[in-house]
Amino acid sequence: MRLAGKVAIISGGSRGMGAFEAELFVQEGAKVVVGDVREDEGRALAEKIGEDAVFVRLDVTSEEDWATAVKTAADRYGKLDILVNNAGVSARGTIEETTVEDWDRVMNINAKGVFLGTKAAIPEMRKAGGGSIINISSQLGLVGMAESSAQYQASKGAVRIFTKSTAIQYAAEGIRVNSVHPGPIVTPMTEARRSDAAVQEVMVSRIPLGRYGESEDVAFGVLYLASDESSFVTGSELVIDGGWTAQ
């Protein structure tokens, strides 16, 4: 098994890509702390997985919640090897339509949440002799799109550069840090856009493979970065976008 003996925290782990990653990680031998603000869904997922998973309420903008998640991993499973900063929100609207509250909400969850999770995880990974941090960005952290929002794209671009900075700072301690850049994926977060035929047509027209991705398309890339198979990979960008950014 590719993650035998490893312990992971996955934020935003109650549904969508995070839930698929949690189940896949356990199938590959890991113990998983599922963190999310959706308590009912998170607890149900952990119960479905069994004793190799536990749920913690995790608001990624809260230092206290992150401290609890890391402590849960250490107390229950003895260490922390992997962090997947998966939690995120989307947004729409032009710059002029964006309020300060809109901007702050997206930046706090998508960018500040990654910073706080990374900061909380590093000391425990240091005790374990190293680890792997995987930050979920977006293809829109690499290129712009008029139909998206500036705050979403700025937040995902911030994740990309934060990843590189962290990778450089902690490489000597064996802590690897990489970003993943999914294109449009079939998840609850994209449901509203997918139900709008005009928007759906625009999105699919930009994907050379001609379809939205599925959660598993991303999860297997995350699994690779979490495993020792990627031991020489840090500060990199794994783009899983159906060819969107190749054009």
The answer to whether residue 69 scores a pLDDT higher than 90 is yes
Spatial distance between the Cα atoms of 102 and 210, rounded to a whole number of angstroms: 31
Of 43, 182, 3, 4, nearest to 19 (Cα)? 43
The answer to whether residue 26 scores a pLDDT higher than 90 is yes
What's the pLDDT at 202? Answer: 82
Quick one: pLDDT band at residue 92, thresholds 50, 70, 90? Answer: confident
What's the pLDDT at 199? Answer: 75
* The model's pTM: 0.96
Spatial distance between the Cα atoms of 207 and 217, rounded to a whole number of angstroms: 14
The stretch 226-246 carries a mean pLDDT of 98
DSSP-derived secondary structure letter, 148 = S
Of residues 237 and 146, which shows the higher confidence score?
A: 237
Which one of 77, 152, 170, 212 is the catalytic residue? 152
The answer to whether residue 191 scores a pLDDT higher than 80 is no
Residue-range domain boundaries for the chain? 7-237
Quick one: pLDDT band at residue 7, thresholds 50, 70, 90? Answer: very high
What's the pLDDT at 198? Answer: 76
The stretch 48-61 carries a mean pLDDT of 98
Cβ pair 87, 113 in contact under 8 A: yes
Spatial distance between the Cα atoms of 215 and 41, rounded to a whole number of angstroms: 17
What's the pLDDT at 158? Answer: 98
What's the pLDDT at 203? Answer: 86
Of 218, 166, 36, 8, nearest to 109 (Cα)? 36
**152 a catalytic residue:** yes
Q: Which tens digits make up the pLDDT trace of 104-123?
A: 999 999 999 999 999 999 99
| Location of structure tokens 């206290």 | 64
The dihedral formed by the CA atoms of 178, 203, 149 and 179, expressed in degrees to the nearest 10: 0
What's the pLDDT at 30? Answer: 98
| Location of structure tokens 């549904």 | 15
The answer to whether residue 212 scores a pLDDT higher than 90 is yes
Cβ pair 35, 9 in contact under 8 A: yes
7-237, what's its fold? Rossmann fold (3.40.50)
Q: Which two tokens stand for residue 58?
A: 């995790």
What's the pLDDT at 200? Answer: 84
The answer to whether residue 197 scores a pLDDT higher than 80 is no
DSSP-derived secondary structure letter, 67 = H
Q: Which tens digits make up the pLDDT trace of 152-189?
A: 999 999 999 999 999 999 999 999 999 999 999 998 77
Cβ pair 107, 154 in contact under 8 A: yes
